[in-house]
Amino acid sequence: MKIEQSSFFDKFVRNIKKGKSFTLTGLTIFSRLLLLKYIFKLSGKKVLFITSTEQSALKYSSDLERLFELTSETLPYQNTSPYEVVTGNLYDYARQVNTLLNLPDIVIAPAKVLLEKFPSNTFFENNSFKLKVGESIDQKNLLSRLIKLGYKRSTMVSDIGEFSIRGDIADIYSLEENPVRVEFWGDEIIDIRFFNNETQKSIEKIKEITIEPLYKFILPDSTPEDFPKELQEQLDNEGYFEGVNVYQSYFNNDLVSVLDYFKDYIIVFDEYAEVSAKYQQIDDNFVNNYNEGLKTQNIHPLKEINHFTLAETLNRTAGMQKIYFNNFLSDENNEVIDIDARNVQVFDADMDEAAKFLKEHKGYQITIATDYQERVKEVLSDYDIFDINFIKNITSQGTEIQDGKILLLTDRELFNKRQKEVPSNRKRHYKEKAEYIESINDIKEGEYVVHSIHGVGVYKGLTKQEFDGQLKDYLTIEYANKDKLHIPAEQINMLCRYRGSGQVKPKLSRMGGSDWENTKTRVKKEVETMIREEGEEAALEVGVHGIHPELIRLLGKMKFRTSYGQNALKHSIEVAQLSGLLAAELGLDVRLAKRAGLLHDIGKAVDHEMEGSHIQLGAELCRKYKESATVINAVESHHGDVEPTSLIACIVQAADTISAARPGARRETLETYTSRLKQLEDISNNFKGVDKSFAIQAGREVRVMVVPEQISDADMVLLARDISKQIEAELEYPGQIKVNVIRESRVTDYAK
């Protein structure tokens, strides 16, 4: 793919070669990848690409390889929270170390990894050691060196950080993808090979292996004087105990930013405003958690906070060339180059339309990313369309760059089939889904259970105890320190089975302690993080930027909301896409239409916890967070509550109807739907003084016409309340139903 003929290309090349910082706007996901390729090829430098989330980093990496055969590495984040005792994922740490020491040509990093503090390059040079075939090493010396670097001895290695020594064989699971087996003849190393730790079969022979430290520090022979005394005993007994990485600043004074490893790189920011907002959010949470933990004495004070502030990180970019992919322009005072790339319409398996579209773009460099290459080739050949480049399907959307005559189509456009999320290559031991206990017969004595209030305990059987003169069944749960809790049998729904990893026994909770509350707090924060990431992904997917962070959070909440079985977030994304397509056909502002479509149901994120319809709540939220009048009106009018004041509002209304009405979108049957409408009208008609009633807006409102001679203005208030209470008692329905009572008196006379 070439863009050399584009009008912006000369300016783009000139800025790159002069080492200038500048901004690129008017971008789609695909155009960002295309420009990233050219930045790398033209600059002669390596590239660090910074994204807002880890999932977007993984998507970019996957698509970059499929589109341009460019290999990149994603740099994961390793948690070192002060609020919880964590070991940190060693697979993440391994990938970090391997990336930083090898420095690939293209590195893609989520914003949060920039917060982390790392040891300098010299730390790894001074504290790693090599094992080479032909060299000699005393096994006792090897044992002590491994322990010093944080490795733990086991009978058989199964995870990173473990080693075993059996006779003349040493198995070590270092920071490589697979463990290594070292064979000795006496003290001489005669063979080194990688092996599969599950099958124990050899994979590859090697001449040497480097063993790096498992932590960002080395425990000293004597502990620093200011190290928390409460942890000293644990350190003396266990050495590298679980969670010791939190206190890294006590043991390593040479901690640097990840950016210090990339001084010779070009930095590319993917939507700088989103990156910085994400960075600040994580940093604020970190500091708040730390301060909260100090107040409640749940944590020990740190010598130095484990994260860099945003200002500290940005200072380290001084003197580096920076390129910004910003559709929503930031305050950066840089030259702006507009690309004018646009997403392609969805054909939804209508190959006649797809073929017509391709013929209209004759002369373009066309690439089709699909999992059905042979099928698509065969179909297009019937239309005499041949000169097309085919690759495997990607996560990016189809894009047209008119200026450069470049066109990309994917399965998303051809078949309305979205690519699955790109899995992280982390290896984790995931916990199974919680299983609630419904009957006493479903639980066995000695089984681990989780109580919603008190946490993890052991079920000790059923006992009978007298209460208020009656014998009742109680379930006995034993916690740490042999404390017992007796639960009435009718409260068994508060228990669920413990589902852990492997055969590891869980740590019992302490009754009255703070550990379980802390666990629930951490989970809530993880869910909150997931919600924000879902919102960010949704905005990124439709190409809408600059939305207030709180609205982004509410968008993410909609992933866990359904309406008639239709997921609210997916519905909003669908409406945004449809709105954009309709706006493009009518020559309107596509981005504004997508924005209005994405936010049209935002009120559904809060309608279960606040009074009012999702329309009213959505409009209030949009006003609060300074959305434009066009967007607010689109939210208010998409169900006909108010009159639309713009074509975009009409487009959103149409897109909403299309999304809800397509086959399979909603689970409610026509019979159920019409039955509910009839019931609404029947309930209203049964009240004295009611003339007629009409269920409208798909059952969201019922308008009640009363006889003015029988119902006064004062009676209307009571009648509306009585009808609404009757509806609440007799019907099941999503959201809320508006009861609108109307009284009209007419007096007629004639002048003769």
Residue in the structure block whose two tokens are 């430290």 = 213
Res. 698 pLDDT band, cuts 50 70 90: confident
Pairing of strands 322-325, 266-270: parallel
Which two tokens mark 375? 């099928």
Q: CB–CB of 47/106 below 8 Å? A: yes
Mean pLDDT in residue range 275-297: 79
The predicted pLDDT at position 422 comes to 66
Least confident of 18-32, 117-131, 158-172, 518-532: 518-532
Q: Given a cut of 60, is residue 331 above it in pLDDT?
A: no
Q: Given a cut of 90, is residue 567 above it in pLDDT?
A: no
Q: CB–CB of 601/621 below 8 Å? A: no
Res. 403 pLDDT band, cuts 50 70 90: confident
| Chain segment 213-224, per-residue pLDDT in tens | 998 899 888 888
The predicted pLDDT at position 16 comes to 93
Q: Look at 314 and 89; give whichever has higher pLDDT.
A: 314
Compute how many other C-beta atoms are within 10 angstroms of the C-beta atom of residue 495. Answer: 21
The predicted pLDDT at position 573 comes to 93
Q: CB–CB of 102/240 below 8 Å? A: no
> What is the secondary structure of 522-559 as a DSSP string?
HHHHHHHHHHHHHHHHHHHHHT-----HHHHHHHHHGG
Mean pLDDT in residue range 628-649: 92
The predicted pLDDT at position 2 comes to 62
> What is the secondary structure of 189-234 as a DSSP string?
EEEEEEE-TTT--EEEEESEEEE--SSSS---SS--TTS-HHHHHH
- What are the residues facing 373 on neighbouring strands? none
Mean pLDDT in residue range 486-497: 80
Rounded CA gap, 132 and 659, in Å? 63
| Chain segment 614-637, per-residue pLDDT in tens | 898 999 999 998 899 999 999 999
The predicted pLDDT at position 429 comes to 37
The amino acid occupying position 578 is L
How far from 78 is each of 81, 163, 269, 423, CA to CA, in Å?
9, 22, 21, 17
Q: CB–CB of 532/525 below 8 Å? A: no
The predicted pLDDT at position 480 comes to 84
Angle at 624 between CA 620 and CA 625, to 5 degrees: 120
Rounded CA gap, 729 and 718, in Å? 17
Q: Look at 411 and 437; give whichever has higher pLDDT.
A: 411
Q: Given a cut of 50, is residue 502 above it in pLDDT?
A: no
Compute how many other C-beta atoms are within 10 angstroms of the C-beta atom of residue 156. Answer: 11
CA atoms within 13 A on the CB side of 57: 27
Residue in the structure block whose two tokens are 């909603």 = 666
Q: Given a cut of 60, is residue 81 above it in pLDDT?
A: no
Res. 332 pLDDT band, cuts 50 70 90: low
Mean pLDDT in residue range 127-150: 93
| Chain segment 434-491, per-residue pLDDT in tens | 566 766 767 788 888 888 788 888 988 888 877 767 778 888 899 888 888 888 887 7
Q: What is the DSSP letter of 699?
A: G
Backbone angles phi, psi at 493, to 5 degrees: -65, -10
DSSP-based three-state secondary structure for 372 = coil
Q: What is the DSSP letter of 492?
A: G
| Chain segment 300-315, per-residue pLDDT in tens | 788 888 888 888 888 8
CA atoms within 13 A on the CB side of 584: 13
Nearest to 697 by CA among 747, 738, 649: 738
Least confident of 124-128, 635-639, 685-689, 693-697: 693-697
The predicted pLDDT at position 252 comes to 87
Q: Given a cut of 80, is residue 79 above it in pLDDT?
A: no
Q: What is the DSSP letter of 20?
A: -
Mean pLDDT of the chain: 85
Rounded CA gap, 85 and 241, in Å? 10
> How far does Cα 335 stand from its chain's mean position?
32
Res. 505 pLDDT band, cuts 50 70 90: low
Q: What is the DSSP letter of 441?
A: G
Mean pLDDT in residue range 49-69: 91
Please state the pTM of the whole predicted model.
Answer: 0.60
The predicted pLDDT at position 428 comes to 41
Q: Given a cut of 50, is residue 85 above it in pLDDT?
A: no
